[in-house]
Chain A
């Protein structure tokens, strides 16, 4: 048991901190810090800056750009990136399809996709969820039927995040409707979003923004070579992918940053004749949140340290569950600090309300999503109760 980072890890942390705060364009980091939407171009610019320095996909196999880092290094990398308000490498690329292709794709697919995926030359979106297949993902109904050298895809996906920016989609499709277990008849296909028969329809969210879409497939012809791995093994790849998704999902650095900002905002608001930053109730609330976040960060450190064999520690469900709750609590805190100013959400020019107060409520409303996706918090409780407590 030892608290301090080793000198090597201290140096590593400094290196990361220096890179993120000097080598990623400041306008982009300011945009993230202001909690404003980051454009497609900005995402790409940031990820390419990281990739050029070998910092976009350190968790991939070394052969494909990975760094062979320890779990602790990855943790530090992610934390420092979030604290510096660097947009994280697109999860669909770097945490989802990239690792799946690296692990299960054929050599040709690896050569065709991995470098471009790391560099965000291809923007991927995730076609898993369907209107009737949410938490019960394996009940998905989109079909792919073999016809000569092609798969013909019909059906609908939904909640497709940033599908409007995407070049390619990775999709779970039903290839064997007769399989005894529904999980057994699913395959993974990848294809360009501009393939004939693909239609995208935006879904507006409660924050007024457009980040998710419905995607419709009508006789979409996908070449057989675009099947990832083996036919009818798609569920295994999905599970592998979702396991990766949970890594780093605690987002401790991002929440830390929000709390630090909340403290600053509290100094700007006067209530009862004194700044909110001197109000005992507000301070106690921040202290509680900060302490919860500390406990989460320490748990993340404890869990990464114990998952060196690659298998997720059973407690990693705690990270998703608590991580999402604390992100939500931090956004809620900022809305409450803004108070009546938080109503000016869509004010443009001509408003005296500071920008942070304007974005506060849309962000709070938007962040309700974090306990829904990535395996909802109810799903995480099911995992804890079942896998860990044996209930």
Chain B
């Protein structure tokens, strides 16, 4: 049991932090980047690729760096710290993760190589308007057409769905869920992009007999693979949330020390400093859970359960910290020029992409009566 980073991991953090701080030195810069499509900075994306970040979790033979969930967590936390809008979790951990988990060797090389090099943005088109937070597809269906497949139905919201060069699309086949690769310029593919409240981009992706390539071999149900990779994304999001929460708290504490009312700085009011102290408690507990979940993933333990735990903890913490950060600022906290509200917006977005706190609590509740105590250093978490 060891919660400390090794020197390579520390170097990675320093490098990513440096890059992102140069890219997003202030709120103004981020606002201008997210103000126009694709909602992130292509140059920063290229720099992340150069640094190896976009290929971080993929095997070297697939064009990646062969790193693991700990490194992914480090990057995600740094992204959260400055609210970097580049779709690291969405494109690399989630969409890329599925290709890595399910794809054939040829597909992995063809897709993950360009993704790692920054030449191709991936998106996972999975959510469907009428169902939520399911590892399976139902509204989009796949039918075989000679050697290939055709997909029909609507996926929405799809993060970065309009910008993506390649879409990983889930679709119902034979009562199960299969995964497909769809090229951005495929026939019968209509993508209508829009802004999301946190500055990101999402899209309606309408498939109408769209040609698609089956990901991996055979049409056995891939729901469990989706579940696993989504869990890894939940864990990465947990780390991203921790970075965002830490910044929101730091900004809030600084504000309390400088903003004056009634002739004194706000930190003279214990009603406010105690609430800041409670924010700190939430951040530290969330950090511990996020780190632990990354370690569970690294150890090959039950990542789905760990992902649910990280999701629950960071959901509760994210709401607490996000709301208090704004309240302790007063009016400026709800303005677009000021940073803190954007953190709250991002935390709120993360909270709804892959399941919220209540959702995770219900999943955990289903098995609560089957074991006496949770041992974070034992089964099923240590693999």
Residues of chain A touching chain B, judged by Cβ–Cβ distance below 8 Å, are 1-6, 9, 72, 83, 256-257, 259-260, 263, 266-267, 277-278, 280, 283-284, 286-288, 290-299, 301-302, 305-306, 315, 318, 321-322, 378, 380-382, 384-386, 388-391
> Knowing A299-B288, A302-B288 touch, does A381 contact B277 (C-beta < 8 A)?
yes
- Decide if B274 touches A1 in the complex (CB within 8 Å): no
Give CA–CA (A380, B278) in the complex, Å: 10
Give CA–CA (A86, B286) in the complex, Å: 30
Give CA–CA (A306, B368) in the complex, Å: 31
- Decide if B284 touches A315 in the complex (CB within 8 Å): yes
- Residues 246-277 of B at the A interface (beta carbon under 8 Å): 249, 253, 256-257, 267, 270, 273-274, 276-277
A contact residues around B267 at 8 Å (CB)? 385, 391
* Nearest B residue to A13, CB-CB: B377
- Residues 355-380 of B at the A interface (beta carbon under 8 Å): 358, 361-362, 364-366, 368-369, 372-374, 376-377
Number of A-B pairs, beta carbon distance below 8 Å: 161
> Knowing A3-B292, A4-B377, A301-B1 touch, does A391 contact B276 (C-beta < 8 A)?
yes
Taking the complex as formed, is B332 at the interface, i.e. its CB lies under 8 A from any CB of chain A?
Answer: no
A contact residues around B1 at 8 Å (CB)? 2-6, 9, 72, 301, 305
B116 to chain A, nearest CB (A): 23
Kindly list the 10 A-B residue pairs having the minimum CB-CB distance in the complex, ordered from nearest.
Answer: A298-B288, A283-B365, A385-B273, A384-B277, A295-B285, A3-B295, A381-B277, A287-B364, A260-B372, A287-B365
Taking the complex as formed, is B313 at the interface, i.e. its CB lies under 8 A from any CB of chain A?
Answer: yes
- Decide if B361 touches A287 in the complex (CB within 8 Å): yes
With A2-B299, A3-B301 known, 17 other A-B pairs at CB within 8 A are: A1-B3, A1-B9, A2-B2, A2-B295, A3-B1, A9-B1, A257-B373, A286-B365, A290-B364, A292-B285, A294-B376, A302-B288, A382-B277, A389-B253, A389-B276, A389-B277, A391-B256
Give CA–CA (A6, B377) in the complex, Å: 11
- Decide if A384 touches B364 in the complex (CB within 8 Å): no
Give CA–CA (A384, B273) in the complex, Å: 9
Give CA–CA (A278, B365) in the complex, Å: 10
A-B contact pairs, 25 of them (CB 8 A): A1-B70, A1-B295, A2-B1, A3-B301, A3-B376, A259-B373, A263-B368, A280-B362, A287-B312, A287-B365, A291-B289, A291-B313, A295-B286, A299-B288, A305-B3, A321-B281, A322-B281, A381-B278, A385-B267, A385-B270, A385-B277, A389-B249, A389-B280, A391-B256, A391-B276
* Nearest A residue to B362, CB-CB: A284
Chain B interface size band reads 35 or more
Main secondary structure of the interface of B (DSSP, over half): helix
* Nearest B residue to A283, CB-CB: B365
Give CA–CA (A373, B298) in the complex, Å: 40
A contact residues around B365 at 8 Å (CB)? 280, 283-284, 286-287
A contact residues around B361 at 8 Å (CB)? 284, 287-288, 291
- Decide if B273 touches A283 in the complex (CB within 8 Å): no
Give CA–CA (A72, B267) in the complex, Å: 36
Give CA–CA (A102, B273) in the complex, Å: 37
* Nearest B residue to A321, CB-CB: B281
- Decide if B374 touches A318 in the complex (CB within 8 Å): no
B279 to chain A, nearest CB (A): 9
CB 8 Å contact bits of B297-322 with A (1 = contact, 0 = none)? 01101000000010011000000000
Taking the complex as formed, is B141 at the interface, i.e. its CB lies under 8 A from any CB of chain A?
Answer: no
> Knowing A1-B3, A283-B368, A384-B281 touch, does A295 contact B276 (C-beta < 8 A)?
no
Taking the complex as formed, is B158 at the interface, i.e. its CB lies under 8 A from any CB of chain A?
Answer: no
Interface centre among B267, B364, B365 (most CB of A within 10 A): B365
> Knowing A287-B364, A298-B291 touch, does A4 contact B382 (C-beta < 8 A)?
yes
CB 8 Å contact bits of B333-359 with A (1 = contact, 0 = none)? 000000000000000000000000010
